[in-house]
Structure 1
Amino acid sequence: MTTVNNTSTTDVLASFRHQQEAAGSKSELGKNEFMELMIAQLKNQNPLEPQENGDFIAQLAQFSSLEEMQKLSQNVDNVVGEFRSTQALQASAMVGRTVLAPANFGMLDDSGEITGVVNVPASTGGLKLSIQNESGELLRRIDLGASEAGQKAFRWDGQDADGNVLPPGRYVVVAEASYPEGNEQLDTLVSSNVDSVSLGKGGNITLNLAGMGSIALADVQQIN
């Protein structure tokens, strides 16, 4: 008498997952594992109750979709890799140039000045810029006058209120606008030189600015 092996696809799948977990590998099915399961199912089906053609075609369609998704995923990874390489190449061309980046301080270097812009959220009749040392001591106050909403450029010539030329170093920049409800401190963007570019994990690109540390490429507001 002939004995029929009634092992089901569920049993085969459970066995496969058990082996994968025991081996400490991934438990997701790839196209090879999917095909092995289909073959195992065909080998072990009951000849008296064979699989319906429609079910078999549906499984083939699933296999085809899986293979296409894997190809698509690989293509996307390739495109992302090329995009990151292009970004890194473009970022490297920024070395030696100056950029505008969000900061409330700037480096006074051999150029003898600190430049940048103030983000003005609403029109103001009085916009002022204060220059302080790192201890918070007020060195100079610059009246930028009235300003419309938008960005207002500023320039500090490196001198204190008495006209003395200050030494190179880091200086704090504080912008304030006068409004009917009171004074409001505003955000500033300061110009700085790009010393080098770093490519981190995941393709993240950071710019290393002179005396100002590192910032993400996405935070750069303007390239001069």
Structure 2
Amino acid sequence: MTSGIASLASSASSSSTSTAKTSAQEIAGNFTQFLTLLTTQLKNQNPLDPMDTNQFTQQLVQFAQVEQQLKGNDRLDGILASAKASSSASATSYIGQTITADGKTAQLADGAATWSLTAPRAATKATITIFDSSGNLVGSQTTPLAAGGQTYTWTGKTSSGMTAPDGTYTIKVAAQDATGQTVSVDTGISGKVDEVDLTGSEPVLLLGGTRVPLSSVRSVGLSTSAS
């Protein structure tokens, strides 16, 4: 029976090192079964031939490892729950606030879709193209960009002179400086947070129909008006 208990304890200890494959319920089950078998063995061992001290010590060590794994899992669950609650509380404070976040996709509404553009140096030529949700090119403009942060507002006018319907649009910027070198322009989106989606692993802020992960927020309280 000693070898059977040792085998079970070894299995439980090994399983506890891989939380991705073993649930807390399985670990708890192995822990309870191990304790039951160990207690039964101690009650029924031969007084004239008791359990070897080294084997008993090894089994107690394995017993302690499983117990610590269970406690560790409980603590991790508590930390994760606390972190999510804190993140959720922080996210709800954004409702009604105007934010700027990383992103290329913005909502066209009331004749305007606005992006924030940040250029590390001045660009004498920047080709700005706008695509609809299906990936079709709907608008294009060539304009210089100053160094630093600025806003770009698209009025919804397409290349054919028509007015694009309200919806989701994506911006792409290809810029060059006076020497013809490429200037990498960082794009972001701005808008007022209408609501917060807390159903996922990370809170998502909703700016109209645009979804913005909380981790993408750059700043709060910036104006979305064109400069």
Same fold (TM over 0.5): yes
- The verdict on how the C-alpha distance between 1:41 and 1:177 changes in structure 2, with shifts beyond 3 A counting, is same
Q: Is the 8 A contact 1:107 1:168 kept in 2?
A: no
| Structure 2: stretches of 5+ with no match in the other structure | 12-24, 222-227
Q: Report the TM-score, using the length of structure 2 for normalisation.
A: 0.65
Amino acid at match of 1:188: T
Give 1:111 deviation, angstroms.
9.0
Alignment-derived partner of residue 114 in structure 1? 114
Identity in percent: 21
After superposing on structure 2, the runs of 4+ consecutive aligned residues of structure 1 that deviate more than 6 Å are: 11-14
Separation in structure 1 between the aligned mates of residue 84 and residue 181 of structure 2, nearest angstrom = 46
3-state DSSP class of the match of 2:173? strand
For the 8 Å contact 2:115–2:187, the answer to whether it is kept is no
Structure 1 residue 80 and structure 2 residue 80: aligned?
Answer: yes
User: Residue 13 and residue 113 in structure 1: after superposition, are their counterparts in 2 closer, same or farther (change >3 A)?
Assistant: closer
CA RMSD of aligned residues (A): 3.7
After TM superposition, the structure 1 = structure 2 runs for residues 154-169 of structure 1, keeping only pairs within 5 Å, are: 154-156=151-153, 158=155, 169=166
With structure 1 as the length reference, what TM-score do the two structures score? 0.66
Which residue of the partner structure matches residue 23 of structure 1? none
Contact 2:6 2:59 in 1 (8 A): no
Q: 1:196: Cα distance to partner?
A: 1.2
Report if aligned partners of 2:5, 2:37 keep a CA contact under 8 Å in 1: no
- The match for 2:188 is 189
- TM-superposed CA distance for 1:217, in Å, is 1.7
Q: Answer whether contact 2:122 2:145 (CA < 8 A) is retained.
A: no
Q: Give the partner amino acid of 2:84.
A: R
Q: 1:72 to 1:104 in 2, by over 3 A?
A: closer
Aligned ranges 1:1-224 → 2 under 5 Å: 7-10=1-4, 28=27, 29-109=29-109, 114-118=114-118, 120=119, 123-126=121-124, 128=126, 130=128, 132=130, 134=132, 136-138=137-139, 140-145=141-146, 147=147, 151-156=148-153, 158=155, 169-170=166-167, 172-179=170-177, 180=179, 183=182, 186-201=185-200, 203-212=201-210, 214-224=211-221
CA gap 1:9/1:159 in 2 versus in 1, 3 angstroms: closer
* Structure 1 residue 218, shift from structure 2 partner: 1.8
Deviation at 1:219, TM superposition (A): 2.4
CA contact under 8 A between 2:196 and 2:203: conserved in structure 1? yes
Q: CA–CA distance in 2 between the matches of 1:60 and 1:205?
A: 44
SS in 2 for 1:221: strand
Please state how far the C-alpha of 1:168 moved relative to its aligned partner.
7.9
The size of the alignment, in residue pairs, is: 197
Given that residues 208 and 215 in structure 1 are in contact (C-alpha distance below 8 angstroms), is that contact kept between their aligned partners in structure 2?
yes
Matched-pair contact (CA < 8 Å) for 2:114–2:154: yes
Instruction: Give the distance between the partners of 1:117 and 1:142, measured in 2 at CA.
Output: 12
Q: Does the 8 Å CA contact 2:108/2:156 hold for their aligned counterparts?
A: no
| Structure number with bigger Rg | 1
- For residues 8-35 of structure 1, give each alpha carbon's deviation from its aligned partner in whole angstroms, at most 9, with x where no partner exists: 4417967xx9xxxxxxxx6545432221
1:215–1:172 CA distance, 2 compared to 1 (3 A)? closer
- CA distance in 2 between counterparts of 1:109 and 1:51 reads 79
Q: What amino acid sits opposite 1:130 in the alignment?
A: I
